[in-house]
A and B are shown apart, each in its own frame.
Chain A
Amino acid sequence: MARLLKCDIVTPDSRLFRGEALLVSAPAAEGDIGFMFQCAPLMSILRRGMVRIKSDNDEIHAFAVDGGYIEADGNKVVVLASRAIDVATIDETIARERIAANEQRIAELADDDPAVTFARAEIVWQKHLLSVKT
């Protein structure tokens, strides 16, 4: 039996996943990286993208992440995502509603309002969710 990695996905307000994995793939700063047991220790910035966890029985569990960090040392992988969601739980209707709501918000706000940046980031994130869902 192949040795497994411990894997955690945490976001600032919750722990999204904790378990063992055969393979973890993540969008690291300079390209997607796969981690397996006894991989070289690495610490990297994450881009927006998908973290996929392949378990012992070949099931793949996918998470959409909005940037963050990843820390791996051959034994465990910790994904520190600034925002993340289990792909299976993405609701396209809600995502579309959020995009529309934020677009409207931007239209209402002055261009230099700091809230505009947050609204734009939210739109990008929700569009990302839609793109990984389809």
Chain B
Amino acid sequence: MANLRDIKKRIASVNSTKQITRTMEMVATAKIRRATDRIVDAIPYAMAILEVLEAVAQKSVGTDSPLLQTHADLKRILVIAVVSDRGLAGGFNANVLRATDAFITKNKAKGIECDIIVCGKKGLSYFNYRKMPVVLSFRDQSADPKIAQAREIASYIIDAYISNKVDQVVIFYNHAKNVADQITLSEQVLPVDHYAFTEVVADEDDIVHLDESAKAASAYQRVLTEARESAAELITTEEISGDFDYEPSAQTVLESLVPSFVETRVFHALLDSAAGEQGARRKAMKAATDNANEMVTTLTRIYNRARQGAITTEITEIVGGAAALEEE
């Protein structure tokens, strides 16, 4: 039977771990709120830019914007992996990194080289350890992504694409579906698909629809849905007539919009991932806290049994001793 003092020590240690995980859970919960607010703040711009793009695209102006052209030869792909700076978030980082790694391995087998842009320390150490080519990396920004970071990534990938250094750009990130669940997504950023404009809008609709059907009206989903609706209400009160005058010309407007669209897309992936990170951490820490609680219960039971056993032994000894004395 285990020593009473040892069990007591273990209970104390599990309890102190529990305190840490519970605090981390609460911190993550508070941060989810902030991360969600940031997404909500960014929605009006994204919706507006999509609407403008759609309106211009409807005009079907002839454009030779290099960002819309697919490269005939697919020789080199630029992969953007968005993960976090910190661990203790369950499978959050591993899912994206594994998906990215699998994607790269698959393409290597086909003879396509891959370069990597990585956001988040966890990703950097993963790829550096495997000696995979990281061309651009960001650290200490995963919890609070700034538009400047998205701009830097966008300008790098646009330059690389235009100068034919890469033939495709794909981004891997965690989409925060709701507070608890994250989905690992991969999206093609470049070349920008002409039809992708409307597809993205359709995606947004899907998400709203999903929220409704799930009826899981958590604060997170409600806020997001409301923001989308209010943005949509402002921008699509009437069908865009398509009779806009363009200054300087429709083509120039479209060509200057495309880079902004790329930038917005990257920024959204970063924000989405930041919200997902907190969600994943909260979930992981909640599981850890629950496990710790269970462990304390089990250990306490063992402790009590051991104590009981010790008392019983003692009594038996005393009774035995007394009986022996009486006999004398």
Interfacial residues, chain A to chain B (CB-CB below 8 A) = 6, 8, 10-15, 18, 28-30, 40-45, 68-69, 71, 73, 75-76, 78, 80, 82, 114-115, 117-118
A95–B148 CA distance with the chains assembled, in angstroms: 17
Complex-state Cα separation, A11 to B260, whole angstroms: 11
CB-CB under 8 A from A69, the residues of chain B are 49, 52, 253, 256-257, 260
Is B267 in contact with A42, judged by CB distance below 8 angstroms? Answer: no
B7 interface residue per 8 A CB criterion? no
Closest chain A residue to B55, Cβ basis? A43
- The answer to whether A118 and B151 have CB atoms under 8 Å apart is yes
Contact between B42 and A12, CB atoms less than 8 A apart:
yes
Is B12 in contact with chain A by the CB < 8 A criterion?
no
Query: Given A13, A41, A68, A71, which contacts B42 in the complex, CB threshold below 8 Å?
Result: A13
Residues of B within 8 A of A76 (CB): 234, 237
Q: How far is the CB of B322 from chain A (nearest CB, A)?
A: 81
Total interface residues on B, CB under 8 Å, equals 41
For the A-B complex, the count of residue pairs with Cβ-Cβ distances under 8 Å equals 101
Check B321 for interface membership: any CB of A closer than 8 A: no
Rounded to whole angstroms, the CA-CA distance of A18 and B48 in the bound complex is 13
CB neighbours (8 Å) of B235 from chain A are: 78
Chain A residue numbers with a CB within 8 Å of B253 are 43-45, 69
Query: In whole angstroms, what is the CA distance A8 to B235 when docked?
Result: 10
Residues of B close to A73: CB separation below 8 A: 238, 240-241, 244
CB distance from B87 to the nearest CB of A (A): 27
The smallest C-beta distance from A70 to any residue of chain B, in angstroms, reads 9
In the complex, are the beta carbons of B38 and A13 less than 8 A apart?
yes
Bound form: Cα–Cα A73–B240 in Å: 9
A sample of 8 more A-B contacts (CB under 8 A), given A11-B147, A71-B244, is A10-B44, A13-B267, A42-B244, A43-B56, A43-B245, A43-B246, A80-B48, A118-B151
Also in contact, A15 and B41, with CB within 8 A (given A43-B52, A45-B252, A114-B156): yes
Q: Please, how many angstroms separate the alpha-carbon atoms of A114 and B257 in the complex?
A: 22
Nearest CB on A from B306, distance (A): 58
| Chain B residues within an 8 Å CB radius of A28 | 247
Say yes or no: B248 contacts A14, CB within 8 Å: no
Distance of A42 Cα from B253 Cα, bound (Å): 11
Q: Within 8 Å CB of A118, what residues of B?
A: 148, 151-152
Q: Which residue of A lies closest to B43 (CB)?
A: A15
CA distance in complex: A75, B241 (Å): 12
User: Would you call A44 and B246 a contact (CB within 8 A)?
Assistant: yes
B155 pairs with A8, CB closer than 8 A: no
Known: A29-B247, A29-B248. A10 touches B45 (CB 8 A): yes
